Amino acid sequence: KKMIYYFGKTRTEGTGVSKSILGGKGANLAEMTSIGLPVPPGFTITTEVCGDYYANGGKMPAALMADVKTNVETLEKELSKKFGDDKNPLLLSVRSGAAVSMPGMMNTILNLGLNDVSTAGLAKATSNERFAYDAYRRLINMFGDVVMGVDHEHFEEAFDAIKKKYKTEEDTQVPAEGLKELCDAYKALYKKETGEDFPQDPIKQLEKAVEAVFKSWMTNKAVKYREIEGIRGLLGTAVNCQSMVYGNMGDDSGTGVAFTRNPNTGENKFFGEFLINAQGEDVVAGIRTPQPTEEMSKWNDPVYQELMAIKTKLETHYSEMQDIEFTIEKGTLYMLQTRTGKRTGMAAVKIACDMVEEKLITEKEAVLRVPAGDLTQLLLPSFDTAAWAKAEKIAKGLPASPGAAVGKLAFTAEDAKARALKGEKVILIRKETSPEDVDGMHAAAGILTSTGGMTSHAAVVARGWGRCCIAGAAGVKIDAKNKTAVISGKTYGEGDELSINGTSGEVAEGSIATQPALLSGDFAKLMVWADKFRTLKVRTNADSPEDSARAREFGAEGIGLCRTEHMFFGGDRTLAIRQMIVANDEATRRTALAKLLPFQREDFIGIFTAMNGLPVTVRLLDPPLHEFVPHDEKGQAELAKELGVSAADIKARVDSLHEFNPMLGHRGCRLSITYPEILEMQVTAIVEAAIECTLKKIDAIPEIMIPLVGTEAELKLLRRKTEETIEAVKKAKNFTGKLDILIGTMIEVPRAALTADEIAGQADFFSFGTNDLTQMTFGFSRDDINSFLPDYLSQDILLVDPFQSLDTSGVGQLVEIACKKGRSIKDKLKLGICGEHGGDPASVQFCHTVGLDYVSCSPFRVPIARLAAAQAAL
C-alpha cells in the first residue's frame, strides 16, 4: 500500500487520487501542482496510514519514517536546501487534512526543521536574524503546545517577561536579541514541562508532529464536529508536509484567504482578506483585522493580477467556487490550499444559476449542486424592513453569515448549549470563537463576536450551518468572566435580549419583528429546473387555508395530509368537541357533532378554494380523545358548568378515557368503528363543502383518508359507511354533477403494510404514515424517544433519528412490501407518503426509488422536497 504521495516539480503522484485517500487538502495540492499553479512542493501521508495508526492501537506504522525520509530527500534536491542545514535550511509545515473539511478542528505545526543550528542558517540565508528567531520561538511554542500538550499560557508568560525587559507591549517590537533570549527561555520551559530537551533532530520533530496530527483526529472537538456535521465512515486524516514559504518576511510579503465568489450572497466577485507581513494563521485566527483583497492592487498590482488569473483557472478547472489560501514571500505568490468553498444556501443557489449562465456547468449539475436542505436558509425570515429601519443600532460588525436572530445573551459555549436545550433562544456572544465552541455555536440562534474577520472560524462555521453570525463587532466590549458586555456605553447581561442582523452586520437592542423570506429570481429559476427533472410529485401537509396558500406558493401540487383534529382547536370548537367526547349517549354526541359540522365545512371550503384544481387528502379524526379534554379539576369544573352537567360526571368520563398507551389506543379508524357518527359528520362536511365549491366553479378534489388501518375488515366497513354518506349528502343536496371522491387509507400499522394486497382491494390510494410506522416498527414512542435517543446516537447504535430520516432498511422494507403488494392488486394504485420524512432529502430519495407517486411535507419544506426529488431522479 502506497503511504506517501509527492507533489512538486520532480513529480506529482497524487493527481486524480481520491480525497478519501489524500484528504481534501492533499488531493487539491496535487491537483493545483499538476495544472501549473505555484504550489510549494511537499508530500502527503495518506488517511489510510492514520487508519492503520489507530488500528495498531496508536503506533506509527513501521515503514513510515523511512518513506518520509526518502520524500524529504526528494524535496531537498528539488529546492537545493537541506533539513537542519546551517546555511539554507529546508523548513516544513505539517498540516492535517481529512476527506471532508473540518475548519480549525485539527492540528498544524509550522517552521518544522528549525533547531539551534538551522535557525542560525535561516538567519544567514535571509539576512534577517530577527525573522529567524521569531520563526524558531513560534516552532517551540507550537510544538510544545500541539505535540507535547504544554499549556500555551506558560509561553505567554515567558514572552511577557521578555517584552517587559525590552519595554514594549508589541510582539513585533522585540528585537532579535530579545527573541534569541526568548528561544532559550522557551527551550528551558519546554524541558521543565515535558522533562525532555526540545528535539534538535528535524526528522524526530517531523515524526512527532505527524503523530500529533494523527492524534488530533480523535480529540473531543474533532469528534464533536463530525457528530454535528454527520461526517461518518472516514479512515482518518491525511498529513500534508509542505515546504514553508513566509508571508512575514517584511512589507513585500503577506498572506491571505479568499473565496473566488462571495460566500454569503454568491455574487461573482473575488472575496477575501489579506494581511501584510503576517503568517497564515494570523488571518484565520482573527487576531489582527485584515484588509479586503481589493486593496491588494494598491500594494502589489502584478501579484493581484496573478491571483485573479489563478481565480479564473481554478474555477474553470473545478467548475466550482473555491476557498483558497495564499502567501506572498518577497513579492512571489504561492498557493497553499484550495477547496470547494462553504457557502450559505442563498449563495449556493446564486452561484449554481450564475455558473449555468457562464456555461461552467449544466442545469442538471446546478440542480445537483445545491444541498436541498440548505434551501431552508432562503425560506427563513429576515427582520421586518420597517421595524429594522426604526430600531436603534447599538453596534456594527462584519455581516459574516446572513439571517436574523433574536435571543438573550450567553457568554460561554456551555451556557449557550445548556440554555438552548431548555428551549431558550440565545445569542452566543464571544470575543472570538475557537473550535472548542462548536457545540454552543450550533445551539445558539445567532453568534456575535467582537474580533475576527469574514473568514474567521466563527464566520466559516456559522455560514456552513446557515446560522446568523456577526463577526468583529469592535464596539462590543465583552467581560466573559462577569458575563456582561458593554455596548454603546450600556451594560448588557445574560437576561438581556439582542437582535442581530447577519445580513447587514448590525446589532439592535431587544426583540425586533421578523418577516418571511422573499423568494428571489434565482431561487425560482432553480426550482423550474428541478421541476423539469423530477418525477415525484410534491404535496403538503396543511390544515388551514393560510398554510395551504403558502404551500401552494412554494410549489405544492396538492395536500397530502389535512389533519382534521387540528381544526378543532380554539373557542366554540373546543367546547363542541369536548361535548362530543364526554357525551354518554349517541343523541348527545350527535347534537355536539352537529355544532362541529359548520366549522368543518367552512374550513374545507377555505382549503378547497386555496387549492383550487389540486387534490386535497382529508384524513378523518385520528388522535386519542383524551387529548381534547381537561385533566385538571378547574378545567373539568368549567366544562361541567358550560355543558350543564355535574363535575363528577365529567371527571368520571375523563377518567374512563385514560389509556396506558394512548398512541396504541382508541384512535384513528378505531374511533369511527366505535362512533360512526364522527365519520358521518366529517364526510358530510367534506362533501357539502365540495358541492358548494363546485357550484361556485371552484374545482374541489377531495380525497378521503382513513387512518391507522391494520386490517382489511376495518377499511371495508369504513369505506362502505363513507360511500353511503357521500351518496346521502349528494341526494339531500340534489347534486347530480360530477364528484369523484377517492377513498384511501394510511399505511402506518406494520400489519397493514404486510397485508397490503388485501387492503388494496378496499383502497383507491395508500399514504404512508411513516411517523406511526416508525413508532410501531421500532417500538419507539414517538413522543418519548428523546429520553434515550442521544445515547443511541453517541454510541452509533442509530446514525440518525429515525423519526427525522427514514430507516430505509427496516421501516423502508415495510414501505417497499406494501408498495409491491398493493400494486400487485391494483397496478395504478396511487402511493404517497405524509409522515415527517416526506421533507427529508435522504428519505425523498428513497421514496423515488421505491416508486411512490408523491411525497407530502410541511409547507416550508416543499421546495426542499422538490429539489431533493429532482436530485433523486438525476
Q: Which residues are catalytic?
A: 457, 834
As measured in angstroms, the least distance from the Cβ of 722 to Mg ion is 19
As measured in angstroms, the least distance from the Cβ of 767 to ligand PEP is 8
724 has binding-site annotation: no
Q: Which of ligand PEP, Mg ion, none does residue 376 bind to, with CB < 5 to 8 Å depending on kind? A: none
| Contact by Cβ (8 Å): 55, 130 | no
CA distance 651 to 654: 5
DSSP label at residue 669: H
Q: Determine the residue type at 597.
A: L
Q: Does 769 bind Mg ion (CB under 5 A)?
A: yes
Q: Determine the residue type at 505.
A: G
836, with CB counted inside 10 A (0-12, 13-18, 19+), is buried
272 has binding-site annotation: no
As measured in angstroms, the least distance from the Cβ of 676 to ligand PEP is 21
Nearer Cβ to ligand PEP (383/846) = 846
As measured in angstroms, the least distance from the Cβ of 563 to ligand PEP is 5
Q: Determine the residue type at 815.
A: V
Contacts of 854 (CB under 8 A, 6+ apart): 536, 537, 538, 539, 557, 558, 560, 831, 832, 833
Annotate each residue in 168-187 with x if it binds ligand PEP (CB under 6 A) or - if it does not, as one string. --------------------
Binding to ligand PEP, residues 386-405 (CB under 6 A): none
Task: Say which residue the cell 512575514 belongs to.
Answer: 248
In terms of DSSP H, where are the helices of 84-171?
116-126, 129-142, 152-165
Binding to ligand PEP, residues 207-266 (CB under 6 A): none
Binder of ligand PEP out of 748, 764, 807, 840 (CB under 6 A): 748
As measured in angstroms, the least distance from the Cβ of 817 to ligand PEP is 17
Part in contact with ligand PEP (CB under 6 A); list of ranges 61-69, 167-175, 446-454, 767-775: 767-775
Rg (CA), the chain: 33
Task: Say which residue the cell 510579503 belongs to.
Answer: 253
For residue 137, CA distances in Å to 58, 113, 174, 175 come to 29, 12, 12, 13
Q: Does 563 bind ligand PEP (CB under 6 A)?
A: yes
As measured in angstroms, the least distance from the Cβ of 703 to ligand PEP is 15
- Residue 315's nearest CA partner among 360, 364, 366 is 360
Binding to ligand PEP, residues 825-844 (CB under 6 A): 834-835
CA distance 236 to 230: 15
As measured in angstroms, the least distance from the Cβ of 749 to Mg ion is 9
Nearer Cβ to ligand PEP (439/772) = 772
Nearer Cβ to Mg ion (347/752) = 752
| Contact by Cβ (8 Å): 640, 727 | no
| Contact by Cβ (8 Å): 350, 266 | yes
Binding to Mg ion, residues 700-759 (CB under 5 A): 748
Nearer Cβ to ligand PEP (107/770) = 770
Distance of CA 362 to the CA centre of its chain: 26
As measured in angstroms, the least distance from the Cβ of 743 to ligand PEP is 18
Q: Count the neighbouring beta carbons within 10 Å of the beta carbon of residue 368.
A: 16
Binder of ligand PEP out of 74, 126, 484, 771 (CB under 6 A): 771
DSSP label at residue 147: I
Terminal CA-CA length for the chain: 35
DSSP label at residue 12: B
Binder of Mg ion out of 181, 374, 772, 840 (CB under 5 A): 772
Contacts of 365 (CB under 8 A, 6+ apart): 319, 352, 356
Q: Which of ligand PEP, Mg ion, none does residue 93 bind to, with CB < 5 to 8 Å depending on kind? A: none
- Does residue 427 sit in helix, strand or coil? strand
Q: How many helices (H) and strands (E) does the chain have?
A: 35, 33
As measured in angstroms, the least distance from the Cβ of 672 to Mg ion is 15
Nearer Cβ to Mg ion (222/706) = 706
Q: In this structure, is the dihedral angle defined by the CA atoms of residues 307, 103, 455 and 281, taken in order, positive or negative?
A: negative
Q: Does 97 bind ligand PEP (CB under 6 A)?
A: no
Q: Does 836 bind Mg ion (CB under 5 A)?
A: no
Q: Does 615 bind Mg ion (CB under 5 A)?
A: no
| Contact by Cβ (8 Å): 378, 523 | yes
As measured in angstroms, the least distance from the Cβ of 745 to ligand PEP is 12
Q: Which residues of 49-70 are buried (b: 16+ CB within 10 A; e: fewer)?
A: bbbbbeeeeeebbeebeebbee
Q: Which of ligand PEP, Mg ion, none does residue 835 bind to, with CB < 5 to 8 Å depending on kind? A: ligand PEP
Contacts of 297 (CB under 8 A, 6+ apart): 304, 305
CA distance 142 to 147: 8
Nearer Cβ to ligand PEP (134/748) = 748
Q: Does 850 bind ligand PEP (CB under 6 A)?
A: no
As measured in angstroms, the least distance from the Cβ of 582 to Mg ion is 24
Binding to Mg ion, residues 119-158 (CB under 5 A): none
- Residue 500's nearest CA partner among 641, 153, 850, 492 is 492
Nearer Cβ to ligand PEP (129/622) = 622
Q: Which of Mg ion, ligand PEP, none does residue 770 bind to, with CB < 5 to 8 Å depending on kind? A: ligand PEP
Part in contact with Mg ion (CB under 5 A); list of ranges 433-441, 449-457, 490-498, 770-778: 770-778
Binding to ligand PEP, residues 634-693 (CB under 6 A): none
Task: Say which residue the cell 367552512 belongs to.
Answer: 602
237 has binding-site annotation: no
- Which three cell numbers mark 322? 473555491
Distance of CA 18 to the CA centre of its chain: 25
Q: Which run of H or E residues covers position 530? A: helix 521-533
Q: Does 202 bind ligand PEP (CB under 6 A)?
A: no
Nearer Cβ to Mg ion (349/706) = 706
Part in contact with ligand PEP (CB under 6 A); list of ranges 265-273, 389-397, 607-615, 765-773: 765-773
Nearer Cβ to ligand PEP (84/835) = 835
Part in contact with ligand PEP (CB under 6 A); list of ranges 110-118, 498-506, 519-527, 769-777: 769-777
Part in contact with ligand PEP (CB under 6 A); list of ranges 5-13, 371-379, 411-419, 764-772: 764-772
Nearer Cβ to Mg ion (8/769) = 769
771 has binding-site annotation: yes
Q: Count the neighbouring beta carbons within 10 Å of the beta carbon of residue 141.
A: 23
Instruction: Compute the residue count for the chain.
Output: 874
761 has binding-site annotation: no
CA distance 327 to 246: 7
Q: Does 770 bind ligand PEP (CB under 6 A)?
A: yes
Q: Does 622 bind ligand PEP (CB under 6 A)?
A: yes
Binder of ligand PEP out of 181, 772, 807, 853 (CB under 6 A): 772
Q: Are strands 238-243 and 42-45 parallel, antiparallel or unpaired?
A: antiparallel
Q: Determine the residue type at 827.
A: D
Binding site listing: 563, 619, 748, 769-772
Q: Tell me which residues touch ligand PEP (CB under 6 A).
A: 561, 563, 622, 748, 769-772, 834-835
Q: Tell me which residues touch Mg ion (CB under 5 A).
A: 748, 769, 772
Binding site listing for substrate: 563, 619, 748, 769-772
